């Protein structure tokens, strides 16, 4: 069963078609890769799906065919379609646990007016308990009382995903989760993404590191200049002539985005 359908979606910025008549169907349980050169429209696609931008034209359907284009990003997140950002958005001066607890509060939109003080305390305890479970699940238990600002980059990205998990996603959009990571951090993050996927969460992932994309994804959609250039299983995409051309003739697609980052 499909969890997301993008139908004829275009997004213009002035005269520039950042997305040009995109059609995508994502099945429940997939890890779908969205790849393409810089400026291809990948983040714009995420912005349009998650309600950060409205499409100029086209329609987007989620879960049992609910139309979500035109809804606010808050409403879409409440429905379980949650995204992370290309640059991690954290409360840097709050602890790891506080960051996730706040995300839970925001998600639950708790209306505490007219509620007994005792009930508020209980809600808070429940939120902290759930947040702690998520923090531990993401391998950050030991760092729960550390300020987000003090975490190494890899852990900050893991915290970004923990914050997304606080919203209980059914469909999670990850924008470049591996960027700027050391090989060790990358391997760890790939394991975490697989673990998240095992919680029955469908994942859409934009990533430049091709080896990781090929390892993680069951199916890949390629964007180029706002258009859907190709779709297929990893082995097909690696050998697709149009894809190789889009990446400026790079013969070995697997070598893309895999540069090592010094610690
Ligand atoms: N808010 C905006 N206003 C104007 N132009 C935009 C805006 N957002 C994106 N664009 C343009 O739309 C095109 C697609 O950008 P987008 O960020 O979606 O690419 P991308 O595939 O995510 O690239 P990257 O791999 O570098 O992150 C680019 O030409 C970009 O300059
Ligand atoms: Mg981008």
- Which string of b and e fits 226-245 if b means at least 16 CB within 10 Å? bbbbbbeebeebbebeebbe
Of 179, 172, 161, 155, nearest to 38 by C-alpha is 179
pLDDT at 252: 74
Domain ranges of the chain: 2-255
pLDDT at 259: 64
pLDDT of residue 132 exceeding 50, the answer is: yes
pLDDT of residue 263 exceeding 50, the answer is: no
SS3 call for 221:
strand
- pLDDT category at 247 given cuts 50, 70, 90 is confident
CA dist 229 and 39 (Å) reads 14
- Of ligand 1's listed atoms, the one at least distance from the Cα of 176 is 27
Q: What percent of the chain has pLDDT over 90?
A: 78
Compute the mean pLDDT over every residue in the chain, rounded to the nearest whole number: 91
Q: Could you identify the residue written with the tokens 């258009």?
A: 227
Q: In CATH, what number does 2-255 get?
A: 3.40.50.300
pTM of the predicted model as reported, rounded to 2 decimal places? 0.92
User: What's 228's DSSP letter?
Assistant: E
Cβ of residue 66 lying under 6 Å from some atom of ligand 1: no
Cβ of residue 145 lying under 6 Å from some atom of ligand 1: no
pLDDT of residue 262 exceeding 90, the answer is: no
User: DSSP secondary structure string, 87-140?
Assistant: S----TTSBHHHHHHHHHHHHHT---TTS-HHHHHHHHHHHHHHHHHHHHHTT-
Of 73, 98, 258, nearest to 180 by C-alpha is 258
Which one is predicted more confidently, 150 or 254? 150
**Burial (Cβ within 10 Å: 0-12, 13-18, ≥19) of residue 14:** exposed
Cβ of residue 179 lying under 6 Å from some atom of ligand 1: no
Which of 12, 14, 18 for mutating ligand 1's site (highest number of atoms within 8 Å of CB)? 18
Per-residue model confidence as pLDDT tens digits over 161-204: 999 999 999 999 999 999 999 999 999 999 999 999 999 999 99
- pLDDT category at 5 given cuts 50, 70, 90 is very high
pLDDT at 85: 77
166 strand-pairing partners: none
Cβ of residue 58 lying under 6 Å from some atom of ligand 1: no
Cβ of residue 38 lying under 6 Å from some atom of ligand 1: yes
Residue nearest to atom 7 of ligand 1 (CA): 13
Ligand nearest to the CA of 246: 1
């Amino acid at each position: 069963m499909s969890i997301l359908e993008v139908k004829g979606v275009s997004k213009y910025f002035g005269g520039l078609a950042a997305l040009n008549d995109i059609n995508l169907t994502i099945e429940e349980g997939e890890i779908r890769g969205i790849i393409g050169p810089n400026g291809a429209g990948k983040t714009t696609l995420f912005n349009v799906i998650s309600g950060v931008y409205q499409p100029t034209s086209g329609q987007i359907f989620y879960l049992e065919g609910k139309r979500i284009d035109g809804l606010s990003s808050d409403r879409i997140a409440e429905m379980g379609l949650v995204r992370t950002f290309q640059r991690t958005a954290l409360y840097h001066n709050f602890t790891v646990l506080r960051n996730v607890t706040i995300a839970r509060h925001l998600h639950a939109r708790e209306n505490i007016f007219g509620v007994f003080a005792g009930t508020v305390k209980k809600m808070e305890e429940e939120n902290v308990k759930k947040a702690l479970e998520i923090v531990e699940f993401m391998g950050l238990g030991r760092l729960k009382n550390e300020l987000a600002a003090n975490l190494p980059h890899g852990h900050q990205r893991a915290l970004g995903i923990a914050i997304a998990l606080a919203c209980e996603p059914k469909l999670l959009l990850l924008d470049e989760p591996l960027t700027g990571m050391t090989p060790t951090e990358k391997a760890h993050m790939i394991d975490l993404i697989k673990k998240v996927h095992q919680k029955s969460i469908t994942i859409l992932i934009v990533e430049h590191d091709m080896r990781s994309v090929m390892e993680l994804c069951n199916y890949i959609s390629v964007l180029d200049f706002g258009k859907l250039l190709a779709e297929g299983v990893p082995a097909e995409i690696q050998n697709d002539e149009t894809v190789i051309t889009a990446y400026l003739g790079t013969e070995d697609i697997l070598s893309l985005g895999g540069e090592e980052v010094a610690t």
